[in-house]
Homo-oligomer: A and B are copies of this chain.
Amino acid sequence: MGTSGDRDPFVVIGGDAAGLSAASKCKREAPDREVIVFEKGEWVSYAHCGMPYYVKGEVDDLLSMTTLSPDDVHDRGIDLRRNHEVTAIDPQRRTVTVERYDTDATATDESGASTTTETFEQSYGDLLIATGARALAPIDGVERDGVFTLHHMDSAAALRAFLEQPGSVDPATVGNGYTDEAYVRQYAEREPPASAAIVGGGYVGVETAEALAAWGLDVHLFQRGDSLLPPFGEAVGSAVAAELREQGVELHLGCEVTGLVGPSGTTDVGTTGGDEETVSGDGEAVDSEGELAAVAHTEGETAVDLAVVGVGVRPNAELAAEAGIETAAKGAVAVDDYGRTSAPDVYAAGDCAVAEHVVTGERTWVPLGLTANRAGRAVGATVGGNPTRTGGIAGTAVVKAFEQECGRTGILDHDAAREAGFDPVSETVTAGSRSGYYPGSAETTVTLCADRQTGKLLGGSIVGTDRAAVRIDTVATALEGGLTVSELERADLAYAPPFSPVWDPVLVAAKVLAGSVE
């Protein structure tokens, strides 16, 4: 194929964390290699994780949440093409089909979708599929005005504009023009909402509850299951539920939202008197667009001014699957230790792909920001001539729920542990975050899970108000090192009265759990 400069380009599909990490790393490793990134939208390198804090008002500049601007990307020698959607991959011919959209905001069709102005084929030497994930929204009425999913910058911009006083957000300048001006304008001139429904009690739900409560809204959070933040386990879930209630959020646990309904779709909603009510008959088709007035759920109906839906995400793996590339857990793209798919010179990384779990060794799908950055960077290095493993995942996650800091890593669920061949045993302890006599010590609850036979540490969780979140890194690192619970118990962790008691809460948990294994 000649020198790297003569080879067909490294083509990247998707301009967020994994895609741009790969493109940047490849350019550093092999500066002569042509690198093209196709991004279907306007935004690149944006931080999903920051959106709740923009909505809350702790972050005011939407653009500040992007790691790289398009200019930064170009400065790295990367050929970034925004408003370019890859619609097909042909692994035999080593090409992708690309549709270019008109970037003029006025050139949308009646439905508001962008119009395609050109379709072309691009050949690749190496290809990275970094198409990310999308928010699930399997609820009737999710298209209504007033319903948000917070999986896109435009959605965050519109919700924030809605919360602000009318006229205080300029739709033309918010996000420096990258946002969908018409969509933001739709909310910028309205009276602020007084109440909100949050559908789903995962990260997005819990973080959004904090964000909306900060604006003084009456916040209802609906969770189909009985526990918040299920991947964090029972101890964290119940602590977070207590915190949310303490902060005035009305929790509806074990309550499934069945629809997002408008004023004319149901009784007793958005109406002022019996005469004006319009009743929808059973089974009668109700328009699923129009304005939101209430959420219908298994306990009845609750009138709200807006709804945020955060019930999970799914990998955007259809493009790969349609090209005959193998998929794996949860439909995500199957990859090996280097991010290689079943097609030659085609890689996948980030929220659309699986990764190896450090505890089970199995390929699993856990869409998280660090994994995406790291896997993308590794693929970029590999493509650039420096073969690099993408690294495993432990499913480490942290989330802020008002004043509670929550963390989890590895395997906590006993059914999942048994499926992976372990005999799980867990212990939960509550210990101080600092020496008891030192001001600011706070109760910190740690759960550790281990295999009863071998003592191998399988996972852990933590919740508390004082520096709890970063302590989960101790457990995550122990998983990376394959430590037993007794080995973790013997780790020489830090002690000083302002920061930790003599026995760090993680060590207390290890001490107790060590008594339950072997």
Give me the interface of A with B, judged by CB distance under 8 Å. Answer: 17, 47, 49-50, 53, 58-59, 61, 64-65, 67, 358, 368-371, 373-374, 389, 391-400, 405, 407, 409, 435-439, 467, 469-474, 476-483, 487-500, 502-504, 506
Interface pairs A-B: 10 shortest CB-CB: A481-B481, A391-B490, A394-B492, A64-B437, A398-B494, A477-B477, A480-B491, A469-B499, A398-B496, A396-B492
**Given A373-B503, A398-B499, A500-B398; A493-B473 close (CB under 8 Å):** yes
Name the B residues within 8 Å of A474 (CB-CB).
473-474, 476-477
- Per the bound structure, the CA–CA distance linking A395 and B469 in Å amounts to 24
Q: Is the CB of A405 within 8 A of B499?
A: yes
Residue of B with least CB distance to A61: B437
- Per the bound structure, the CA–CA distance linking A478 and B476 in Å amounts to 10
Q: Is the CB of B483 within 8 A of A480?
A: yes
A473: contacting residue among B49, B399, B436, B471, CB under 8 A? B471
Q: Is the CB of A400 within 8 A of B478?
A: no
Q: Is the CB of A480 within 8 A of B494?
A: no
List 11 interface pairs A-B (beta carbons < 8 Å), by A numbering.
A59-B439, A64-B437, A67-B502, A368-B495, A394-B492, A397-B496, A398-B500, A409-B492, A469-B496, A470-B494, A473-B506
**Given A370-B492, A493-B476; A437-B499 close (CB under 8 Å):** no
Q: Is the CB of B50 within 8 A of A438?
A: yes
Shortest Cβ distance from A130 into chain B, in angstroms? 15
Q: Is the CB of B477 within 8 A of A493?
A: yes
A488: contacting residue among B472, B477, B497, CB under 8 A? B477
Shortest Cβ distance from A164 into chain B, in angstroms? 18
A495: contacting residue among B398, B437, B479, B504, CB under 8 A? B398
Q: Is the CB of A389 within 8 A of B437?
A: no
A53: contacting residue among B58, B392, B497, CB under 8 A? B497
A500: contacting residue among B67, B374, B470, B506, CB under 8 A? B470
Shortest Cβ distance from A431 into chain B, in angstroms? 13
Name the B residues within 8 Å of A483 (CB-CB).
477, 480-481
Residue of B with least CB distance to A474: B473
Name the B residues within 8 Å of A65 (CB-CB).
435, 437
A400: contacting residue among B358, B471, B493, B496, CB under 8 A? B496
Q: Is the CB of A370 within 8 A of B472?
A: no
Residue of B with least CB distance to A355: B492
Name the B residues within 8 Å of A504 (CB-CB).
473
**Given A370-B503, A437-B61, A467-B467; A496-B358 close (CB under 8 Å):** no
Q: Is the CB of B64 within 8 A of A436?
A: yes
Name the B residues within 8 Å of A476 (CB-CB).
474, 491-494
Q: Is the CB of B49 within 8 A of A495?
A: yes
